[in-house]
Structure 1
């Protein structure tokens, strides 16, 4: 698998899907994080590089401004080039109903970039189009209701590694995020019949069927 997590901010991958990224990296899959905001030389960029290292992932930055991510042709073209260079078969990104404006905008940039890439590269083959999974959000609540995952990834045995990756982001409010995501993973774990899990749901963009390839296994 070639897995790309397209996130608004440098710590989002660790928080919302870090366990899943760790599992795939440990399997030997190619895993890359694309942070729409910040640059690698910034404080948060350096923290993201350390977090990615702890997860066994690559990370790149598009350098957009925090709190000002917008669904524009320019942002989508930047992301399209990043997607085209990595050619993921699976993408994890934010939920379209996320109440954080940067998160919602990131989903829209992903959609716009994939539409452009699809028209250029995948028109004759739906299976060449990546699978898209949306990740959880704050308190699992969106603008129009709760987040309802249809896919769970057991992160019980790598929970400490996920926490260690989050802790790389020393400039952030670590206790708040770790407590929040612990409660969410415990809740998803209960739904999945395990101790801790990350939750996602599959988004059939362009009607691309889910081929059933495992996420996290």
Structure 2
């Protein structure tokens, strides 16, 4: 890892959220040999239709650790119950300590507007921790940071009360195979729980190769609407000529509650995006 390596901290609600939302971006950081740490704030214990408790928690721990290793990242799962997360002071202090200890250049997390209460809770926790990491009397056992990191929100398509603002547009077309491989590590989710939850479990192939092909289509179907919604912004960033070759993007919104992203720092954090 070079001396100029970035420190990327992902604070996600569940063990598969990082790969699901920003698997392409994390793959790029991994290829550039940056330092990536992924934290699941909950234990993932509610993410299955017929498996629960410690067995599921251990399975998801193994899946997430395996996925993280593919991009040179580390993974840690906290013990807060899945589906029951609330933005409490205790967890806020835990987030503050995590940010102070890891000292990230960039934090990636959920946006406050989301269908899942755990996602919204993590977004609120990170928002509330962002400035407080610089305040000495708060969680005083962990030294403060001289300045808070840049915080960027995962992409989503929700529109109320506000749609995602496309502050950073990352072309992940070339990373699609890696995204699929990362998600395939989370077999309990992409081949079992989510198909069950969406009523398509009977469509999941038994053959491993066919499963990957099926998952690739599922990922493409998930990401394609972002390319369509943000087509004009893609042209603004990459140019009309390059836009025609861009099939899939990951969009980030920069949090207004953390450090602002100036042009120079944007170039430092996202050198693979045209400025």
Tell me if 1:165 matches 2:182.
Answer: yes
Higher-RCO chain (CA-CA 8 Å, sequence separation at least 6)? 1
1:66 counterpart residue number: 82
Tell me if 1:110 matches 2:126.
Answer: yes
Aligned partner of residue 65 in structure 2, secondary structure: helix
Q: How many residues align?
A: 211
Q: What TM-score comes out, normalization by structure 1 length?
A: 0.86
After superposition, residues 33-182 of structure 1 pair within 5 angstroms as 33-38=38-43, 42-120=58-136, 121-122=144-145, 125=146, 128-137=147-156, 140-174=157-191, 175=215, 178-182=219-223
Q: Residues 207 and 20 of structure 1: is their aligned pair in 2 closer, same or farther, counting only changes over 3 Å?
A: closer
CA distance in 1, matches of 2:227, 2:261: 29
Q: Deviations over 1:31-72 (max 9, x none)?
A: 111110118962111111111112321111222111111101
CA distance in 1, matches of 2:120, 2:24: 22
Q: Residues 206 and 53 of structure 1: is their aligned pair in 2 closer, same or farther, counting only changes over 3 Å?
A: closer
RMSD value, Cα: 2.4
Q: Which has the larger radius of gyration?
A: 2
- Residue 200 of structure 1 and its aligned partner are, at CA, apart by 0.6
Q: Residues 173 and 67 of structure 1: is their aligned pair in 2 closer, same or farther, counting only changes over 3 Å?
A: same
User: Higher strand share goes to which structure?
Assistant: 1
- Residue 155 of structure 1 and its aligned partner are, at CA, apart by 0.9
Q: Deviations over 1:147-190 (max 9, x none)?
A: 23221111111110011101111111445962543324543674
> Do the aligned residues in 2 keep the contact of 1:19 with 1:198 (CA within 8 Å)?
yes
Aligned partner of residue 133 in structure 2, secondary structure: helix
CA distance in 2, matches of 1:179, 1:195: 9
> Do the aligned residues in 2 keep the contact of 1:23 with 1:216 (CA within 8 Å)?
no
Q: Deviations over 1:120-158 (max 9, x none)?
A: 324xx5xx3201111113xx1144243232211111111
Gaps of at least 5 residues in structure 1 are none
Q: Given the alignment, which residue of 15, 22, 28 partners 1:10?
A: 15
> Do the aligned residues in 2 keep the contact of 1:62 with 1:78 (CA within 8 Å)?
no
CA distance in 2, matches of 1:196, 1:215: 17
Q: Residues 207 and 80 of structure 1: is their aligned pair in 2 closer, same or farther, counting only changes over 3 Å?
A: closer
Pick which of 65-74 and 202-211 moved more: 202-211
2:199 counterpart residue number: none
